[in-house]
Structure 1
């Protein structure tokens, strides 16, 4: 394999690995955002239970729920943004992987052409040797 092909493949492999790490990071952040949504729902349910049991807590429940709605809306917005970012990262990774495969294919085709050319030269040399021996 030629050095230019090795260099292109090495660079493309690095790009694929970098994008895989980025995608994993985004997926982790998305999972954390979903967990945060679950925690917010659980906290709201706990506050509702407390308000049922304690009249003074019930007076504060509406204020809490207003803040909760704002926090939940922000967390849902984070999830939407992260899902879009994840889709973009998947597309970029797919493109980088296709590029890597193209470079590998070109390198293999170049290697095979060189092998065929070397075989032809070798056969021609053997034919020439055989003709000289006959003569």
Structure 2
């Protein structure tokens, strides 16, 4: 998958669970550039220093939650779509995520097909004026 700029899209996953990050890497690495963060703070540093095209955020991380991280990422890079991933997607959390301009909230663990379709849709909505993006 290639961004309009001629370089692969860059996906950032922020999750304190190494096994989950590795599972996400296995799904996406053949198709996009892959960046990892163990915490919200590390994700914010990466967004400030690197080009990031889409962010997957675990809700429950040390210090900063995924929602708090999302709000900061959106202040830094408003166009970058952020997908919140959580095991407890309550209506209140979904509402707060929508207010923070999350692309969507996915139940953890997400199904691979749903995850791939969601990331492709997020990239399509944010960056493409042409045909749908396929992974």
Normalized per residue, the structure richer in strand is 2
Of structures 1 and 2, the larger Rg is shown by 1
Scaled by the length of structure 2, the TM-score of the pair is 0.21
Scaled by the length of structure 1, the TM-score of the pair is 0.21
